Structure 1
């Protein structure tokens, strides 16, 4: 099969071009990093935290394999939030180092840039599986009720809803996710599949905050996804659930020389709409 070219192409000087040298320095020059917050997200729960622009946060498998669902918002304006589908098009369906997570319209700017990925060498397995996907979305109690006839309150959608409640947000603000550490793909029937998480204790995914962020993470109730949650062989995967860690760092100020927060999208048109002068006669 030929490798057909991507629809969205990065050209020199375009918004899709990434200064890889800058992000390599952020990733590798860690001697003067300052840990400003460390969070443990227990199993089947969610936590939210803020990250100032120009800081780094890292999600870590502190005990072993565990998948997680990540949401991002502009800390000062939650209408600007991560746009999973456009990120799939601009970056990839599975993201890694130097990829960015983009925000929704009418803002359309990078919210974070990935600076470190200990699973970057996983590549593509024999089933077409890759890690850190934007293909699927969060598990939720509505689908669970539809498929099983039972209520379960600790799906990722519910975990994220509880996590952001102290920030004045609701389930209407929860959105499509980045599935961190999750191995997924499309099968020969063009259907979404999930495999057992390949992460080991100490694996991480690290992000540079391009703007001030509110972040929320759910430790999926499916744990490492080694046991089926739905279907004829479904069972409660509680035994393969593990907590995750989140660390937020202030980087050395000199590393930020020349960097500035990305501006929102330049388009300021009216989408072809015009105001018609009323006829007062």
Structure 2
């Protein structure tokens, strides 16, 4: 463990040591000098798209490219899924990323894949918001929650409602041979969230402004899928049980008014020398058998 002195909280007690401490040279953490060069290097825009409100889009990001998600018209939350383009069983693992880095991610954090692969799929290289921590305990680019979906809405309201990120992502990935079963826990880009004093999840209004961006470097060939959340900037949202009683239930028209499109930009790095020292990360080379015991075949008497 690091010998670095633990910080002290407002209560006078030391901050608990994180389970995965960012030690210099750890394979968990990005080479900041390299990814700073990636961010600052000259790039060529090779593709861009505007994702309309309440919809979804899937696209390929080749390894060694930089992808930027933007808010061209102002605050808007986006739900992001990431797959290995060649093997969609390898996909973004929000829970492990949350453990290895933090519950809200930003520049130099890495987005990790699920088991049995466990490697960085992407590394965040730019974040124009740089929100930090607000007085309510809220932070931006959320890994605490997941996508809104029609099933929990039906559970709470008793009504069918197709306007959810789960549905947007489902439609977006269908052309790539994937289905609803492939949609997984998301990175909520531009979403401001936290835990209240009762350890309950809360959402605040998105702090993004027109022209803000969140960008990442593709460590492998990626298939990305993005939903422009039907909750818009979350200043007025109407999901949840008991909203009418609390006075927070909003009409569908109110929610639509706070929805805006998101932009996607794909960049190729101009200077090849920037990537000379970079290589695609490999899988974790675990050769164990999970404790299973297999019989040994005896060649002499041809018996197990």
TM superposition score normalised by structure 1: 0.96
Counterpart check, 1:151 vs 2:160: yes
- SS of 2:88 mapped into structure 1: strand
Q: Deviations over 1:104-143 (max 9, x none)?
A: 00100000000000011x1100100000010000000001
Quote the Cα distance in structure 2 between the aligned partners of 1:223 and 1:193: 16
Residue in structure 1 matched with residue 249 of structure 2 by the alignment: 234
Deviation at 1:276, TM superposition (A): 2.4
Structure 2 unaligned segments of length 5 or more: list them.
1-8
2:53 aligns to what?
43
What does residue 205 of structure 1 align with?
A: 214
2:267 partner SS: strand
Q: Shift of residue 64 of structure 1?
A: 0.6
Matched, 1:53 2:69: no
User: Counterpart in 2 of 1:247?
Assistant: 265
2: CA distance, partners of 1:97 / 1:70? 16
Q: How far has the Cα of 1:234 moved from its partner?
A: 1.3
SS at 1:81 equivalent: coil
CA RMSD, aligned part only? 1.4
Question: 1:69 aligned to 2:79?
Answer: yes
Residue 118, structure 1, aligned to residue 133, structure 2: no
Equivalent residue, structure 2, for 1:214:
223
Q: Shift of the alpha carbon at 1:254?
A: 1.8
Instruction: State which of 20, 28, 34 in structure 2 corresponds to 1:8.
Output: 20
Instruction: Give me the whole-angstrom Cα distance separating, in 2, the residues matched to 1:146 and 1:48.
Output: 28
Alpha-carbon distance in structure 1 between the residues aligned to 2:237 and 2:81: 24
Q: 2:96 aligns with which of 86, 91, 96?
A: 86
The residue that corresponds to 2:6 in the other structure is none
Q: Which residue of 2 aligns with 1:266?
A: 285
Q: Counterparts of 2:153 and 2:20 in 1: how far apart (Å)? A: 35
Q: Does 1:163 align with 2:197?
A: no
- CA offset digits 1:28-71 (Å, max 9, x no partner): 122xx111110111100000000110000000001010001000
Query: In the aligned structure 1, how far is the partner of 2:105 from the partner of 2:303?
Result: 57
Match of 2:143 in 1: 134
Q: How much has 1:9 moved relative to structure 2?
A: 1.7
Give the equivalent residue in structure 1 for 2:3. none
Q: TM-score, normalised by structure 2?
A: 0.89
Question: Are the aligned partners of 2:29 and 2:109 in contact in 1 as well (CA < 8 Å)?
Answer: no
Query: Are residue 225 (structure 1) and residue 231 (structure 2) matched?
Result: no
Query: The residue matched to 1:77 in structure 2 has which SS?
Result: coil
2:20 aligned counterpart, secondary structure: coil
Structure 1 partner of 2:115: 105
Q: Which sections of structure 1, spanning at least 5 residues, go unmatched?
A: none
Among 26, 29, 44, the alignment partner of 1:17 is 29
1:12 & 1:204 partners in 2: Cα distance? 28
Task: Tell me what 1:26 maps to.
Answer: 38
Structure 1 window deviating more from structure 2 (100-109 vs 263-272): it is 263-272
- Secondary structure class of the residue paired with 1:200: coil
Q: The residue matched to 2:202 in structure 1 has which SS?
A: strand
User: How many pairs align?
Assistant: 278
